[in-house]
Chain A
Amino acid sequence: MTKKQHYTITVNGKQEEFLAEPRELLIYTLRERLNITGPHIGCETSHCGACTVTIDGKSVKSCTMFVAQADGKEITTIEGIGGPDALHPLQAAFKEHHGLQCGYCTPGMITRATKLLEENPNPTEEEIRFGMAGNICRCTGYQNIVKSIQAAAAEMNAAKEAAE
């Protein structure tokens, strides 16, 4: 067994330092070591997107990255996007438009969607479906997921315009 190494990662603005084996998958670091349980484990085989987090501006499946690769990086999970006291417009829109059923895929969906809207603030339905293709919903609520993202985009664009 290789020795544990010292790692520093910043999650949702908070710097975390700990010892871990390099082979630890980032999703386990987040969930079991740091108690950040928003990102879920769906497939564990890089297919479902439930474990999606944002790392240095990229949407990443955290079941497909070793903690060693994430050393020194900034990570955002659903917890850093919004919470019960201050929902992000995407979270509010998913709630409003029934963008979730069991909710298992939702943290990954919303985390991915923040990045999608950052890159394309006004996506068409087709662009949403293509841009969300790395996230699978076992409850198959895609119609309402698309609706929620469209509603959030409209909301965010209106807020931006109002601010200008």
Chain B
Amino acid sequence: MIPAAFEYHRPKDMAGVLSILAEHGDDARVVAGGHSLIPMMKLRMADVPHLIDLQDVGGLSGIEISTDSIRLGAMVTQHDLINHAGLEEAAPILREAALQIADPQVRYMGTIGGNVANGDPGNDMPGLMQCLDATFTVVGPDGERQVPAREFYEAAYVTAREDDEVLTSVHFALPKGGYAYEKQKRKIGDYATAAAAVQIIKENGTCTAASIAMTNLSDTPIFSEAAGAALIGSAVDAAALDAAVAAMTGDIDPTEDNRGPVAFKKHVSGVILRRAIERAWSRA
């Protein structure tokens, strides 16, 4: 399990990162927590002649909560998300999701930036970011640009981020209403067989807004607008739940793998979404 040799860089600022990326192009990649990239390098599935460590780059670890929005620096770890009191209050779905990722050791290292930039359909944060309608900020040689999470994922490991760009933060409006992150996994620490992120708003017993995104059921996360729409205007009764599950099932495209055949994944995704909606509604 020895990766191919590489040259290691630990620049002190973003300008340093960008100039190394510009110089080496495809041959260079950033490493954040390393808990997706290093296993891939050890398996020699990723070849990175120039590894750029972001750990000393300042300004990437902030958690900013304002009256109407939240911004998380790319290097904020899953451990940070779980232990930040303000965040638990402002966006409890983040903590609920982060606690279902991997195990304590991995959560000390794994970052939000690495999790959303990685592009692995198994990662939990991309679906969550789509549920929250987050926007990613990336910086490259031509400066900064913003990409909505719902437009970021193109295929497995293919995202809207260019090779010479670095993701610096994610931001989203303060979530409102009830929430749930529900995940089916084979054992603790595993990637999802199916996971659902739900935010839902209740007014006078009626659902007035619902946002639903699914994880590891296609080669990208799936924001299912139709599933959310199926709940709006209802009292989230049995008929509305059935309609939401049916709409979601139409949007996903699971493939058979060691987590099970397609029919099983469709079944599990329905069970998980139902649980997520019910829990979110009970909290709304």
Contact (Cβ within 8 A) A64 B34: yes
What is the 8 Å Cβ interface bit string for chain B, positions 29-65, against chain A (1 contact, 0 not)?
Answer: 0010011001100100000000101010000000000
Mark A58-87 against chain B: 1 for CB-CB distance below 8 A, else 0. Answer: 111101111011010000000000000000
Is B189 a contact partner of A47 (Cβ separation < 8 A)?
A: yes
Q: A64-B39, A65-B38, A69-B53 are in contact. Are A22 and B7 (CB under 8 A)?
A: yes
Interface flag for B109 (CB, 8 Å)? yes
Question: Which one of A58, A64, A65 lies within 8 Å of B79 (CB-CB)?
Answer: A58
Answer yes or no: B5 CB below 8 A from chain A CBs: yes
Q: Specify which of B5, B34, B53, B106 lies most central, judged by the most chain A CB atoms within 10 Å of its CB.
A: B106
Beta-carbon contact of B105 and A68 below 8 Å: no
Find chain A residues with CB under 8 A from B35 CB. 46, 64
Give A65 to B51 CA distance when docked, in angstroms. Answer: 13
Partner of A5, one of B8, B34, B51, B106: B8
Compute how far the CA of A66 lies from the CA of B35 in the bound complex, rounded to whole angstroms. Answer: 11
Instruction: Kindly state the interface size class of chain A when it binds its partner.
Output: 20 to 34
B156 within 8 A of A: no
B238 at the interface (CB under 8 A from A): no
**Distance to closest chain B CB from A142 (angstroms):** 12
**CB of A2 within 8 A of chain B?**
yes
When the two chains form their complex, are residues A68 and B106 in contact, meaning their CB atoms are under 8 A apart? no
Decide: A23 and B5 in contact? CB cutoff 8 A.
Answer: yes
Does A123 sit within 8 A of B, measured CB to CB? Answer: no
Determine the chain B residues whose CB is within 8 A of the CB of A44 once the complex forms: 1, 42
Which residues of the partner chain A approach B42 to less than 8 Å between Cβ atoms?
25, 44-45
Q: Is B5 within 8 A of A2, CB to CB?
A: yes
Give the number of chain B interface residues (Cβ < 8 Å). Answer: 28
Contact present for B188 and A64 (CB under 8 Å)? no
A89 to chain B, nearest CB (A): 20
Separation of A136 and B80 alpha carbons in the complex (Å): 24
Interfacial residues of chain A within 20-51, with CB under 8 A of chain B in the complex: 21-23, 25, 44-47, 49
Contacts of B1 in A (CB 8 A): 25, 44-45, 63
Report how far A134 CA is from B109 CA in the complex, Å. 13
Task: Tell whether B15 is near chain A: CB-to-CB under 8 Å.
Answer: no
| Chain A residues within 8 Å of B188, by CB | 130, 133
In the bound complex, how far is the Cα of B189 from the Cα of A130, in angstroms?
Answer: 10
- B105, A60: Cβ atoms closer than 8 Å: yes
How distant is the Cα of A45 from the Cα of B103 in the complex, in angstroms? 14
Tell me the minimal C-beta distance from B211 to chain A in angstroms.
Answer: 28
Indicate the member of A65, A66, A71 with the most B CB atoms within 10 Å: A66
Chain A residue contacts of B55, Cβ below 8 A: 69
Q: Which of B3, B51, B103 has the most CB of A within 10 A?
A: B103
Contacts of B102 in A (CB 8 A): 134
Q: Given A21-B5, A66-B51, 5 more contacts at CB 8 Å?
A: A5-B8, A22-B6, A112-B104, A131-B104, A134-B105
